[in-house]
Structure 1
């Protein structure tokens, strides 16, 4: 829960300065915090993502959301964010993200390096925890873990060099085992988007406790993924092939009873359909329970006007939740094909007066399901003069969106998203669209009126 701080006057300057002037505590702004003790860099930042980071065991164990993972060849500190019920549980949902938004790679001296990455990559541990809490809340408090891959989101390692490698698979596998022991869940439901889906496919060959696996828009055939238009495989990929964790190689060793969903948009320009369809066919030949489903891929508008149809992480999480809660596989597949909502908003519907009390003059942190999905959170300010400001959660001086807001009868309206009902589920405020209800925005909050 966050304490909502009222604001008696309109915001005319950056949110950070305005809230400080009003006496409200806020999270850090654009000044990047120092790396945690024992870490050479903070991979929550773009600079840390580029450089990579080392960590000491002492520094790692001092963090409440970190796992010191030891494999046959590596020792790294992997971060995670947890949400949902505490204590032992029969099942938990674990999500593995894709590569950072707007990233590009280059090869120099035979080593892969990050060439560029969008500022929208940057988060912090607090915003990751917020995303996990909100996601778990929409899933009836099911335990949810957002696992940070090596070299990303606060973890040690080097993202560019660890990406798609056997080392990355072994480290993430070790992290899953440690989370299971730390939190006491019995079975895992895995969701993986893009390169995170490649990890899920490889984990199927290593673990027997996976109840469901959802693989979304993932490069499951690395030779196909790295092929040029003329069919020739790039030289740098050929040189690195022995170290890469190609799911087309590991599929032959999978012995799993998991329900496996492979989803994506056939129009995908980032990971072509051909880069995952062969894996599905190979898995079926092995007798695995694989369900393919076409789903519409989205784009991040802030990264430019070019459509990629790539982002399916939201649908991956929904499908994982549906499988974890017992949806019959074919029923779930049909829901994915038909665009049916699987995560359905619930809670007490607020009237106009309660909506006004919950939002007016308040800073609320949450997620915008339409623009950013669960990859990142944002901080909003709902001014008394009818403006809603959205700011980068890790950099409160970076304004992302400004729009008008008002109340029409028992709905909250914004100039970009129209009018929506507001539900309060005891933990979060949800702006939801018309029937069938769908999430628009969700915010952590105290009970309306407090």
Structure 2
């Protein structure tokens, strides 16, 4: 049994209270930047993301999270990484697995050089580790009541081999992830079908997969450029719109445009439900770039439901202010609702009314339990709006620091926290109740109440109360 599997099984055995902290030097430490055997670079890190990576078949097959797959013509093979929870053993009957396909790296900027796209820069906050991705999958699965969850990495990202900039929006990217899903089902044959969620450029991939696969039960396309002609004309594919962007588009003959895929004559999954969602004020992906595809998909016979939802921003997590682009938290809620069998019309109604689809679980804590659970602790957590994996340090004097999970010495936010009655308050989310759910703590805020953040209790040494990440 691998160390990762031992760790994931141990999570289910942790006591609810008291919570034990993650030491500042544990899974999020900046070490582990060396690539695994058989890889030329580690694309979990920024340097490997920018350079791209090659991998050998033997090196990939030695990894518990590696899928060695190739393009249909046999011209190319890559190692696609995935990080999952709920796949350790088969359930009593075939099940739907939720698959997450991420967008481009945080803070990514692109340019054309020599007729080929290049990744010019990205935020250090992109950087994670395999262990952190396992933790993220564990948190999502636990929040979703044990639903199987797969975080599927795109080529050149999150440990996968490939070149992110050149593979982005390409036919190779679609073929490699198509093959990865097939290999995933071969490895876990009890997976009946998928509820797939694609955010931003991950949604571009997913829209193309709909024309290739019959096992996608539902697809959630959030803030996604689905009409690449419209996207490159108005948003420039990450480098500014206009004539220059259209010239760059014309220079590429390998773009996998979902609009063209719809017109390609492939048989579409008749039973699939497709949710297309985004913010009309999105400054990264214009609404027309997903509305045009949604209309064409309906004409082609797909069941497509469209919803405008508010996009969110976290400037401290990289990128400009007020993009209104980040809708990943809401998209995962929709994926969960669909995988759980909720009627599409009811999901659509909840999107229109703003009703939460992922309800908090667990026992509500009183004020004393809240103080015991947080004061002096260092915890990994998921912020939901927008979704981001963060490392949090809860100082007994009321200071609250958020840090990069891979670089715990790098502060990305300095906040305050306190307890009012039986509610936890922070200067970011206001005040809300706290629910203990196994190894998880949920912070619930808003009206109607919804998940604001989820924290994972992991056994480890308690850090000194006066320590905190330094810039």
Compute the TM-score of the two structures, normalised by the length of structure 1. Answer: 0.90
Q: Does 1:255 align with 2:255?
A: no
Q: Does 1:243 align with 2:254?
A: yes
Asked if the contact 1:130/1:377 (under 8 Å) is kept, the reply is: no
Asked if the contact 2:169/2:257 (under 8 Å) is kept, the reply is: yes
Q: Does 1:82 align with 2:84?
A: yes
1:273–1:239 distance in 2 versus 1, CA, 3 Å: same
Which of 201, 206, 229 does residue 200 from structure 1 map onto? 206
1:269–1:314 distance in 2 versus 1, CA, 3 Å: same
Alignment of 1:38-187 (within 5 A): 38-71=38-71, 72-84=74-86, 86-88=88-90, 89-183=94-188, 184-187=190-193
Structure 2 equivalent of residue 293 of structure 1: 307
How many Å separate the matches in 1 of 2:311 and 2:181? 28
How many Å separate the matches in 1 of 2:111 and 2:223? 22
1:135–1:5 distance in 2 versus 1, CA, 3 Å: closer
Aligned pair count reads 430
How many Å separate the matches in 2 of 1:344 and 1:5? 22
Residue 341 of structure 1 aligns to a residue in which SS? Answer: coil
1:435–1:275 distance in 2 versus 1, CA, 3 Å: closer
Structure 2 equivalent of residue 11 of structure 1: none
Q: Does 1:344 align with 2:354?
A: no
How many Å separate the matches in 1 of 2:124 and 2:285? 22
1:218–1:416 distance in 2 versus 1, CA, 3 Å: closer
How many Å separate the matches in 2 of 1:435 and 1:92? 30
Structure 2 equivalent of residue 13 of structure 1: none
Compute the TM-score of the two structures, normalised by the length of structure 2. Answer: 0.86
Across the aligned residues of Structure 1 and Structure 2, the Cα RMSD in angstroms comes to 2.3
1:304–1:115 distance in 2 versus 1, CA, 3 Å: closer
Deviations 1:16-46 (A, max 9, x none): 9xx57xxxx6235345621111110011111
Q: CA deviation at 1:145?
A: 0.5
How many Å separate the matches in 2 of 1:233 and 1:405? 45
Deviations 1:230-275 (A, max 9, x none): 67862221121x3111111111324212001111111112111111
Query: Which segments of 5 or more consecutive residues in structure 1 lack a partner in the other structure?
Result: 8-15
Structure 2 equivalent of residue 264 of structure 1: 278
Asked if the contact 1:86/1:143 (under 8 Å) is kept, the reply is: no
**379-388 or 341-350, larger mean C-alpha shift:** 379-388
Deviations 1:403-423 (A, max 9, x none): 232222222222332222111
Structure 2 equivalent of residue 402 of structure 1: 414
How many Å separate the matches in 1 of 2:66 and 2:32? 20
Residue 396 of structure 1 aligns to a residue in which SS? Answer: coil
1:238–1:301 distance in 2 versus 1, CA, 3 Å: same
Q: CA deviation at 1:143?
A: 0.2
Residue 113 of structure 1 aligns to a residue in which SS? Answer: strand
Asked if the contact 2:198/2:204 (under 8 Å) is kept, the reply is: yes
1:133–1:6 distance in 2 versus 1, CA, 3 Å: closer
Which of 435, 448, 459 does residue 423 from structure 1 map onto? 435
Residue 39 of structure 1 aligns to a residue in which SS? Answer: coil
Structure 2 equivalent of residue 211 of structure 1: 217
Residue 409 of structure 2 aligns to a residue in which SS? Answer: strand
1:237–1:133 distance in 2 versus 1, CA, 3 Å: same
1:239–1:230 distance in 2 versus 1, CA, 3 Å: closer
